[in-house]
């Protein structure tokens, strides 16, 4: 898992052995079981997440129904809004699969950035990339039909089709599971 992390970091900055050892000494790696809730609505947190292996999701519970808003898989980072705003969380974060996640808080980030300023540069670039990606994803969601959303999911994140329960996928697409079944059937008929 360490090499996966260091390969990812090397896409942004070069790091030496001292920097690698400093990261490893922080004990950020956590094995988390499927179904584990990492953050609950109303809970305060200072934790940031980086998925090395597995899948986590964010969701709200509205009128007793889960509304999935995002999935994070290998090499995806998540800083919950409650961390940056220092407020209670509006949503839940849970593990869809057994996962290996880096979990750090602002103090760890400041410690690393003060010792190794180039990590601050990497974090800024990564934040800009994530913000741009989220904007594109949001615009695509708002301007497409449920069937187009599903086709985009097949094109851009096909792994989710096999990894995520259908009811969570349907919620993510903004539809009911029955509608997702009908969309899948229509697409299958068109192909044959």
pLDDT value for 74: 95
pLDDT value for 2: 86
pLDDT value for 150: 96
pLDDT value for 94: 98
Q: Is 147 helix (H, G, I), strand (E, B) or coil?
A: helix
Provide the residue-wise pLDDT of the chain in tens; the chain has 192 residues.
788 889 999 999 998 998 898 888 888 899 999 999 999 999 999 999 999 999 999 999 999 999 999 999 999 999 999 998 999 999 999 999 999 999 998 788 788 888 888 888 888 898 899 889 899 989 999 999 999 999 999 999 999 999 999 999 999 999 999 999 999 999 888 887
Phi-psi sector, 144: left (phi>0), alpha (psi -120 to 50), beta? beta
pLDDT value for 22: 86
pLDDT value for 160: 96
Quick check: 26 and 108 in contact, CB under 8 A?
Answer: yes
pLDDT value for 118: 87
pLDDT value for 46: 92
């Amino acid at each position: 898992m360490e090499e996966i992390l260091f390969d990812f970091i090397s896409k942004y900055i070069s790091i030496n052995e001292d920097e690698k050892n400093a990261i490893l000494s922080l004990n950020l790696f956590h094995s988390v079981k499927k179904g584990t809730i990492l953050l609950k609505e109303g809970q305060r947190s200072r934790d940031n997440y980086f998925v090395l292996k597995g899948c986590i999701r964010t969701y709200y519970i509205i009128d007793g129904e889960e509304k999935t808003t995002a999935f994070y898989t290998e090499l995806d980072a998540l800083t919950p809004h409650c961390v940056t705003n220092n407020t209670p969380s509006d949503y839940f974060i849970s593990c869809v699969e057994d996962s290996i996640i880096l979990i750090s808080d602002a103090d760890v980030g400041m410690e690393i950035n003060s010792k190794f300023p180039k990590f601050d540069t990497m974090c800024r670039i990564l934040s800009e990339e994530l913000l741009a990606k989220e904007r594109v994803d949001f615009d695509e969601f708002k301007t497409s039909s449920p069937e187009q959303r599903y086709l985009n999911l097949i094109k851009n994140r096909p792994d989710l089709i096999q990894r995520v329960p259908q009811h969570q996928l349907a919620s993510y697409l903004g539809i009911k599971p029955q509608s997702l079944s009908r969309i899948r059937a229509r697409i299958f008929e068109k192909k044959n």
